[in-house]
Structure 1
Amino acid sequence: MHTIEGKLPLYLGVIKLMKAKAQRVRVSQAHEKELFELGNLLRMSEWQSAEYLVVAARHLSEIRTAMPSDGTDMNACYLFLGQLIEELMAEATKMMPKPANYSEGFLSDMHE
């Protein structure tokens, strides 16, 4: 595991490049491979802050929105990005500090 903070500008640069590619061209196999590699890199990174996770998820969401929706070559990337965004946001939620009056059963108590 490595921390991502030192390399965050590089990762965000790669994300912006991918977004530009997604807006202009159909996704090639090489581009698809880059997305999967970036996703795996983000998954393996040790995150020190929920804010970094949220920023990465937001950029990935922008890429996903910018991707052309036609063509079956997009489906794997689109689904993969959706899953990755969900994973990053779930991890960010786990990392966020809990309020002092937080109770695990609070929401379940409200439903009764």
Structure 2
Amino acid sequence: MTVVDRYFLACEAYVEEYGQESTAPQLSDHLAARGILNRNGSPVAPATLRRYLLEFRIYTVWAKQHETQADPAVSAVLGELARRGVTGQYNRPLEAATVEEFLANFRRRYQVFSLDMSNSTP
């Protein structure tokens, strides 16, 4: 599991706890409260987290679709993201290339999370 995977899990926990997505400063505070800090022992900078928030939103949709389809169609992921109002920079619609650049990492992350869940004990 990578550091970014841990950030994602904390982001997901934030949504479960508060019922809404976090901003980068909120996620930084949430991580710090759970002992997830940067290398210097201080909270992860919101600017660092900000670069991952779009990826996390895309991954959430992709992973949900992956539960029922082995390899979700990029067009289906884009459709769901558009329905949720998720856009790219300057509020432009997301493009297939944006999703495709993350796919290899999404597959890896999904596998890691699946393995982690199968190895956990109640």
TM range (shorter): 0.3 to 0.5
Q: As a proportion of its length, which structure holds more helix?
A: 1
Higher relative contact order (CA 8 A, sep 6+): 1
Q: Which has the larger radius of gyration?
A: 1
